[in-house]
Structure 1
Amino acid sequence: MIEYFRTDEHCSLKKIDKEEPGCWIAVFEPTSDELSHVRAGFGFAEEDALAALDLEEVSRIEDDHGYTMFILDTPVRDRSSNERSYKTIPIALFETPQNVVTICSVYKIPLIDQLKASKELSPTEDVHAFAADILMASSSAYFMALRIINRRRAELTSTTKRPSRKALEDLYVLDSSLVYFKTSLVTNDAIFEKYLRRSPFPTEDDRGRFDDVLIENRQALETTRIYSEILDSTINHFSLLMEHDLNRTMQVVATVTLVLCIPTAVAGFFGMNLLGIPLADYPWGFAVVAGCTTLVALTLLFVLKKLRWF
C-alpha cells in the first residue's frame, strides 16, 4: 500500500490522492510491484528498498547513492500476543532531493498517529526538516507505548493482592516489550549521534532539529530503563510473595504431618496382632489410648506454636 501526504497551511498532515514533488510517500506492507515502482521512481538500490522488510535488519545510515537512508526501529503492537505487548520493527526513511519516502512492513504503526496528531509539522517540501519530524515522531511513539505499558503494570499490581499465574505472565510479557525498546533505542541513539557528527547541515535550524531528535530518543531510553527497573522490582516482589506463600504452606503441611505421626505410631503399636498388648482386656482401653494420644498430639502442637513453627 502506498499513501501520499502533504502538510497544509495549518502545518497539519493531509492525505492526497497522488504523488507530487514535495510530498511524503509512505509505503506500507508493499507488494513486489509497489516496491519496484518506488525503486524505479527514485533510483533506490534493491537492498536498500528491501531492508525495512527484514525484521532482523540492524539500524544504520547510508548516504552513498545520491540519497540518505535511515534504518531505525519503531514500536508496534505485537499481534502474535493478541496485542498485549509491543515489539519493534525496522522502518526505512529516505531523503531524496524533493521527497521523503518511508517503507515499512506494517500498516498501522504509532508513528503515523503521532504525525497526524501533531499541529506543528515542518512543510513536507522541506525534506530535511520533515525527515527530522518523522524521526522525532518515531521517538515520541515510544513514550506513548511506555505510558500504556506502565498503566498496565499499575493495574496488575493495584488489583492483585496475591499474584496469579496470568498476572505473572502479563508482567513477563510487558518486561519483554521493554527489552525490545531498550535494545532498539540504544541502536537508534548510535545512528543519530553518528549522523550529527559526520553530516553537514544546510542550516543551523536543521541541525537543531536533529539535536532535538537525539535528545527525545535519549529521554525515551532513560524512561524505558526506569520503567524496566520498576517492572523488574514488581516481578521480584511477586516472586517473593509466591515463595513466602509456598513456605507457609509447606510449614503447615509439615506441622500436620508431624502431629499425625503420633496417632499413627500409637495405632500401629496397639494394632499388632500379638498377645500381651497393654489395655487389651480393659473395658476403657480404647478411650484411654485415644485420649492419651490426643493429649500428646495437642501438646506437640502447642510446643510447635510456641516455637513459631507455623
Structure 2
Amino acid sequence: MIEYFRTNDQQSLEKIDKEEPGCWIAAFEPTSDELSQLSAEFGFEEDDARAALDLEEVSRIETDRGYAMFILDTPVRDRSSNERSYKTIPIALFETPRNVVTVCSVYKIPLIDQLKASKDLSSTADVHAFAADILMASSTAYFMALRAINRRRTDLMATVKRPSRKELEDLYNLDSSLVYFKTSLVTNDAIFEKHLRRSTFPTEEDRYRFDDVVVENRQALETTQIYSEILDSTIEHFSLLMEHDLNRTMQVVATVSLVLCVPTAVAGFFGMNLLGIPLDTFPWGFGVVTGCTVLASLGLLFVLKKFRWF
C-alpha cells in the first residue's frame, strides 16, 4: 500500500490521491511490484527498500548513492504476544531530490500517528527538513511507548500486593520491551552521530534541526535506561515478596510437621502389640495419654512461638 501526503497551510499533514513533486510517499507493507515501481521512479536501489521489510535489519545510513538513506528502528505494539508489550521494527527513509519516501512493513505505527497529529511540521517540499521531522517523530514515538510502559508498571505497583502469574508475565514483557528500546536507540544514536559528523548539510538551519534529532534520541535513550532500572527494581521487589511469602509458608509447614511428630510418636509407642504397655489396664488410660499428648503439643507450640519460629 502506498499513500501520499503533503503539508497544508496549517503545517499539518493532509492525504492526497496521487503523487506530486514535494509530497511524502509512504509505503506500508508494500508488494514487490510496488517496491520496483518506487525504486525505478525515485532512483534508489530496490534492495535498500526491501531491507526495511526484514525485521532483523540493522540500522544504518548511506549517503553516497545519489540519495540519502536511513534505516532506523521505530517502536510498535507487539500484538502477537501481549497488547501492552512493544517491539521495534526497521523503517527506511529516502531523501531524494524531489520527495521523501518511507518504506515500512507495518501499516499503523506510532511514528506515523505522531506525524499526523503534529501541527508544526516542515513543508514536505523541503526534503531535508521534513526528513528530520520524521526522524524526530521516531524518537517521540519512543517517549509515548515509554510513558505507556511506566503507567502499566505504576498500576501494578499500586494495586497488586501479591502478583499473579499473568501480572508477572506483564512485567517481564515490559522489561523485554525496554531491552528492545535500548538496543534500537543505541544503534539509532550511532547512525545519527555518524551522519552529523560526516555529512554536509545544505544550510546551517538543517544542521541545527538534525542536532535536535540527535538530542531527542539521546533523551529517549536516557529515559529508557532509567525506566529499565526502575522496572528491574520492581521485578526484584515482587521477587523478594514472593520469596518472603514462600519462606513463611515453609515455616508454617515445618511447624505443623514438627508438632504432629509428638502425637505420632506417642501413638506409635502405645500402639505396640506387647504386654506391659503402661496404662494398658487403667480404665482412663486412653484419656490420660491423649491429654498428655495434647499438652505436649501445645507446649511445643508455645516454645516455637517464643523463639519466633512462626
TM-score by length of 1: 0.99
Stretches of structure 1 lacking an aligned partner (at least 5 in a row): none
Letter in 1 for 2:290: A
Whether contact under 8 Å (2:35, 2:46) holds in the other structure is no
Deviation at 1:36, TM superposition (A): 1.1
Whether contact under 8 Å (2:88, 2:184) holds in the other structure is yes
The answer for the alignment partner of 1:47 in structure 2 is 47
Query: CA offsets per residue over residues 173-197 of structure 1, 9 Å max, x none?
Result: 1000000000000000000000000
The answer for the alignment partner of 2:61 in structure 1 is 61
In structure 1, C-alpha distance between the alignment counterparts of 2:66 and 2:51, rounded to whole Å? 17
The answer for the alignment partner of 2:122 in structure 1 is 122
Deviation at 1:45, TM superposition (A): 1.2
In structure 2, C-alpha distance between the alignment counterparts of 1:249 and 1:123, rounded to whole Å? 65
Describe how 1:226-237 pairs up with structure 2 within 5 A.
226-237=226-237
The answer for the alignment partner of 1:95 in structure 2 is 95
Letter in 2 for 1:239: S
Describe how 1:1-310 pairs up with structure 2 within 5 A.
1-310=1-310
Deviation at 1:83, TM superposition (A): 2.2
Report runs of 4+ in structure 1 exceeding 2 Å deviation.
Answer: none
Measured on the aligned residues, the alpha-carbon RMSD in Å equals 0.7
In structure 1, C-alpha distance between the alignment counterparts of 2:175 and 2:49, rounded to whole Å? 32
What is the percent sequence identity of the aligned residues?
84
Letter in 1 for 2:149: I
Query: CA offsets per residue over residues 290-310 of structure 1, 9 Å max, x none?
Result: 111111111110000000000
Letter in 2 for 1:15: K
In structure 1, C-alpha distance between the alignment counterparts of 2:207 and 2:102, rounded to whole Å? 21
Letter in 1 for 2:123: P
Query: CA offsets per residue over residues 50-82 of structure 1, 9 Å max, x none?
Result: 110010000000122210000000000101114
In structure 1, C-alpha distance between the alignment counterparts of 2:177 and 2:82, rounded to whole Å? 14
Whether contact under 8 Å (2:69, 2:92) holds in the other structure is yes
In structure 1, C-alpha distance between the alignment counterparts of 2:158 and 2:108, rounded to whole Å? 31
Deviation at 1:84, TM superposition (A): 2.2
Letter in 2 for 1:225: Q
Letter in 2 for 1:268: G
Query: CA offsets per residue over residues 249-302 of structure 1, 9 Å max, x none?
Result: 000000000000000000001001111111000001001101111111111100
Moved more, 112-121 or 87-96: 112-121
Letter in 2 for 1:133: D
In structure 1, C-alpha distance between the alignment counterparts of 2:161 and 2:54, rounded to whole Å? 43
Stretches of structure 2 lacking an aligned partner (at least 5 in a row): none
Query: CA offsets per residue over residues 153-202 of structure 1, 9 Å max, x none?
Result: 11111110112111111100100000000000000000000000000111
Q: Would you say how many aligned residue pairs link Structure 1 and Structure 2? A: 310
Deviation at 1:230, TM superposition (A): 0.6
Whether contact under 8 Å (2:84, 2:149) holds in the other structure is no
Moved more, 40-49 or 245-254: 40-49
Which secondary structure does the structure 2 equivalent of 1:272 belong to? coil
Which secondary structure does the structure 1 equivalent of 2:209 belong to? helix
Deviation at 1:47, TM superposition (A): 1.7
TM-score by length of 2: 0.99
Letter in 1 for 2:252: V
Whether contact under 8 Å (2:182, 2:221) holds in the other structure is yes
In structure 2, C-alpha distance between the alignment counterparts of 1:225 and 1:36, rounded to whole Å? 40
Letter in 1 for 2:242: M
